[in-house]
Chain A
Amino acid sequence: MWGYYVALALRSSARSKALTALVIVLLAFGVSACMVSYAVFRATTSDPLPAKSSRLYVPQIDNFGPSYTWQGEPPPTLSYTDAMALWQSHKASRQTLLYPAAWQVESDDGSTPAMSLGGDAVTADFFAMFDVPFRFGSGWAASDDELRATVVVISRRLNDKLFGGQDSVGQAIRLDGHIFRITGVLEDWNPKPRFFDLGTNGHTEFDDAGDIYIPLTRGIAMKKDSTTYNGCPTESGVYDTSRWDARLTSECAWIDAWVELATPAEVDRYREFLHNYAGQQQRLGRFSWAPNIRLRNLMDWMAFQDVTPRASSLSMLVSGSFLLIVLVNVIGLMLARFMRRAPEIGIRRALGASRAAIYRQFLIEGATMGFVGGLVGVALTLFGVWGAGGLFEPKIARLVHADASLIALTVLLAVAATVVSALYPTWRAAQTQPAWQIKINS
């Protein structure tokens, strides 16, 4: 029966070629515009750590107070005081503090000219928490954090440049003139978006990850400044970089914090801990406001930080409206197409076809057209994804790709959209009075 209806659909399409072509082309454009936008949107909002994003949380503590926060939101980063207090309390199974830092990098023997490279000062748990893959060696031990050890983990890219890709664990490099011992070399690791230092780094979420990771405690001991602008609850909003010790005791917020919490119970406990901590600071007279804390998991954090580019959300919105308009259009064209065949329906009904049979026939006809429209749409989508480079910034465009799921979704969306828009025209077709149609044509 199905095959017969499909054959009927094709035959009736052959009779009204222009109308059919119009429906298919419209559908293909509407669906592919949506899918190209979706491909970009998907790339910019994708989960960088699908296996554990639900277990990673960003704690925020309001140490600015109502006059310096914006709409009551605590600053995205922590002050050194709060960061250290959280870290030393060990209330989460894993936790890391970090801030971005740039270095002048030289090989130990000075054979390569100095390079300026970026990275992050982190704590030992960083690598395990974010599933950072190692090519050689490993991260450092928690005891190295305590000892402010001069150890470093470098990227594969830097290892290729300095050591020709050989295992360089145990070798040394110079950072800002100081000798650091390499404990590990990373595999290519480039999470997109660059989520881990979103709080400090702001709008660099689609930049590549850095090349240098050293213990945060060592960075602090070296008075190594963060590379990014950070907020202070003062009139000027910036801190005096020349007075390091004052910075550490100030309320300026410049450190990203992450905690790993496995169960909802742990999350609740940690939230309570944060609340109590802020309450304690209030009692101590440091905060003159009620505890104002947040604990967001990775995906909520990215949404809060507005990772998705404006162009992407706007194109999603516009292509969605485009598809809606196309569907209104398709309803009209389907109505024309089905009503034109009122005599045929009349005869079928008179010969004993039930209403259900008419429904089936026309919905299948709709689905067939949707399927063909979907196939054309796939071609247009592939073309659009290929052309995304000309439409979006290079660093975003290179994240966009087509895969099996995108293609399947394109066809599915086309079929679903057509069937939905065929509902009303089909209902009208099924209302056809057999006797009336036959009489008119006699």
Chain B
Amino acid sequence: MAFIKAFMQLRPIVKALGRHKVATALIVLQVALTLAVTSNALFIVATRIVHLSRPTGTDEAHLFVIHNGWTIGQNATQIDANIRTDLDTLRRVPGVRDAFSSYGYPLAGDGSYISVRPKLKPDQKARGPFAMIYAADEHTINTLGISLVAGRNFRPDEITTFGPNDKISPPGIIITRSLADKLFPDESALGKTVYFPGGPTRIVGILASLQGSISITRSSDGDSVLVPAHYVDPDGVWYLLRADAADMKPVIAAALKALQARGGVRVLDPKHGVVTMAQARERAYATDQSLAMLMSIVSGLLLLATAGGIVGLSSFWVSQRRKQIGIRRSLGATTGDILRYFHAENFLIVGGGIVLGIMLAVLANLGLMKVFYPLPHMPLYVPLLGALLLWLLGQLAVWGPARYAAKVPPVVAIRTE
């Protein structure tokens, strides 16, 4: 009922606004710009937060990695022997639940991964889907805290070696479900053969999920392959360890100490060469985090600024129209009528801004998509939600001035200032 009453007043409101063209245009423009900027900014925040809160699939709270460099002059056989001895030692360190060696680790970042594009046929011309390789052994699944959804784990006798220049051809591999779905969208991938550069290999197991080293794409970050081998790179190797307790400091110290007992073969960097998964996550998503934070702060400030502007201009209008309000009141308008007048007026102005703003918002999104890859299309409900927010904000902002206006006594009409 009140709503209909308010709309009855639309004609005089529009007429009155015509007398304040510039001031009205300014608020409309401001609301439009605010809507365009905040809906895009908050959309970026949302995409970043979705992106950075993806789980790696591992038991992140208990994982850490140690980078272990090898001293010059060791061949592949020596390195493999070192890795086996080291893993034996590490698995026996009190507080270490399990350990394995690999190249790179989840969220390690661009450049710390070995990639492969498995093909379905040996003579296939088209490139296979991109996937990241983890060197793994029978302890990998337990160390990472990941789980098989089908198939089996590696057996100790399957573990071989591969180096930086070897064309990999393992007898069996374990892949993640996301990669399995890409390779074999219509059937189970378990037991199927795929082709690596070094030859055919069978899929013996499928993991629920395991993120690779990279964290910047939307579609390929979770496409990992476990290869049953030790990675024998003369430069070094990563040891991935799972601790029993969440407080990993003592375990890290103990693990380093255990490795240093045979310090002659290796180069350790306790400061930069030890990374917990929490640190890796923070590093990998630092940019996303700062973007989300910045955009939220600016959006908040913007909404406040717009609210402030509405309060300021509405109060000015109220003070200008004291006399008219007094006349309306003495002719029988209730305080409710006056209140409704200002709320309806604000509703109209903000509405104008919203129409313009939604168009601007969509344009801005298209522009941003060109510059900032990988930003998806903004669904229309984002600016619509923004519009709702601005309408509410406008009504809230005008509430004070409108109440002030409603308090104008009818006697003002006959008073001369």
Chain A residues at the B interface, C-beta cutoff of 8 Å = 18-19, 22, 25-26, 29-30, 33, 102, 104, 113-116, 176-177, 202-203, 228-229, 236, 240-242, 309-311, 313-315, 318-319, 321-322, 324-326, 328-329, 331-333, 335-337, 339-340, 390-394, 424, 428, 441
B226 interface contact, C-beta 8 A: no
- Chain B minimum-CB-distance residue to A26: B305
Given A325-B33, A328-B26, A332-B313, A104 and B305 touching (CB < 8 A)? no
Query: A215 CA to B50 CA in the complex, in Å?
Result: 48
Question: Which residues of B are found within 8 Å of A328, using beta-carbon distances?
Answer: 26, 29-30, 33, 309
| Interface pair B267/A177, CB less than 8 Å apart | no
Question: Closest residue to B309 on the A side, CB-wise?
Answer: A329
In contact, A336 and B313 (Cβ under 8 angstroms): yes
Known contacts A104-B69, A321-B36; 19 further A-B pairs (Cβ under 8 A): A30-B305, A104-B72, A113-B263, A114-B71, A115-B269, A310-B291, A318-B295, A321-B33, A324-B33, A325-B30, A325-B37, A325-B302, A326-B305, A328-B26, A329-B308, A332-B312, A336-B23, A336-B316, A441-B417
- Interface pair B73/A340, CB less than 8 Å apart: no
B269-A116 in contact (CB<8A)? yes
Nearest 9 pairs of A and B residues by beta carbon: A336-B316, A329-B309, A332-B26, A242-B165, A393-B286, A328-B30, A177-B72, A321-B37, A325-B33
Does B188 reach chain A (CB closer than 8 Å)?
no
CB distance from B256 to the nearest CB of A (A): 13
Question: Which of chain A's residues have a CB closer than 8 A to the CB of B36?
Answer: 321
Tell whether B164 is near chain A: CB-to-CB under 8 Å. yes
Q: For the complex, what is the distance from the CA of A391 to the CA of B26, rounded to whole Å?
A: 32
| B313 CB contacts on chain A under 8 angstroms | 332-333, 336
For A335, list chain B residues within 8 Å (CB). Answer: 22-23, 26
**B189 contacts the other chain (CB 8 A):** no
Q: Are A391 and B294 in contact, with the CB atoms below 8 A?
A: yes
Q: For residue A362, give the distance in angstroms from its CB to the closest CB of chain B.
A: 16
Which positions 358-383 of chain B face chain A at CB distance < 8 Å?
Answer: 371-372
- Which B residues have a C-beta under 8 Å from some C-beta of A? 22-23, 26-27, 29-30, 33-34, 36-37, 41, 44, 69, 71-73, 110-111, 164-165, 197, 235-236, 263, 267, 269, 286-287, 290-291, 293-295, 298, 301-302, 305-306, 308-309, 311-313, 315-316, 319-320, 371-372, 417
**B165 touching A391, Cβ below 8 Å:** no
Alpha-carbon distance between A177 and B34 when the two chains are bound, in angstroms: 63
User: Which residues from A are CB-within-8-Å of B312?
Assistant: 18-19, 22, 329, 332-333, 336
Cβ–Cβ < 8 Å partners of A19 in chain B: 312, 315-316
Q: For A321, what are the chain B residues with a Cβ–Cβ distance below 8 Å?
A: 33, 36-37
Task: Judge whether A203 and B23 touch: CB under 8 Å.
Answer: no
Looking across the interface, which residue of chain B has its beta carbon closest to that of A113? B263
The CA-CA distance from A317 to B111 in the complex, in Å, is 30
Known contacts A203-B110, A332-B23; decide if A391 and B293 are in contact (CB<8 Å).
yes
Residue in B23, B69, B308 whose CB lies within 8 Å of A116:
B69
Q: Which of B111, B269, B312, B313 has the most CB of A within 10 A?
A: B312
Query: Is there an interface contact between A177 and B73, defined as CB atoms closer than 8 Å?
Result: yes
A29 to B299, CA, bound (A): 12
Which chain B residue lies CB-closest to A29?
A: B301
Q: Chain A residue with minimal CB distance to B269?
A: A116
Closest to A397 in B: B290
| Chain B residues with CB below 8 A from A203, complex form | 110
Q: Contact at B298–A333, with CB atoms within 8 Å?
A: no
Please state if B306 and A325 are interface contacts (CB–CB under 8 Å).
Answer: yes
7 cross-chain CB contacts under 8 A:
A22-B309, A176-B72, A309-B287, A313-B371, A328-B29, A335-B23, A337-B316
Contact in complex: A311, B26 (CB < 8 Å): no
How many Å lie between the Cα of A391 and that of B312 in the bound state?
A: 32
Known: A309-B287, A332-B313. A22 touches B269 (CB 8 A): no
Q: Which residues of B contact A236 (CB under 8 A)?
A: 197
Instruction: List residues of chain A with CB within 8 A of the CB of B290.
Output: 311, 391-393
Closest to A178 in B: B72
Taking CB atoms, residues of chain A closer than 8 Å to B165 are 240-242
A33 touches B287 (CB 8 A): no
Bound CA span A128–B269, Å = 33
Bound-state CA distance A240–B294 (Å) is 44
CB pair A33 B301 closer than 8 Å: yes
Q: Using CB atoms, name the residue of chain B closest to A324.
A: B33
Question: A29 contacts B319, CB within 8 Å?
Answer: no
Partner of B30, one of A29, A113, A202, A332: A332
Of all chain A residues, the one with the shortest Cβ separation from B197 is A236
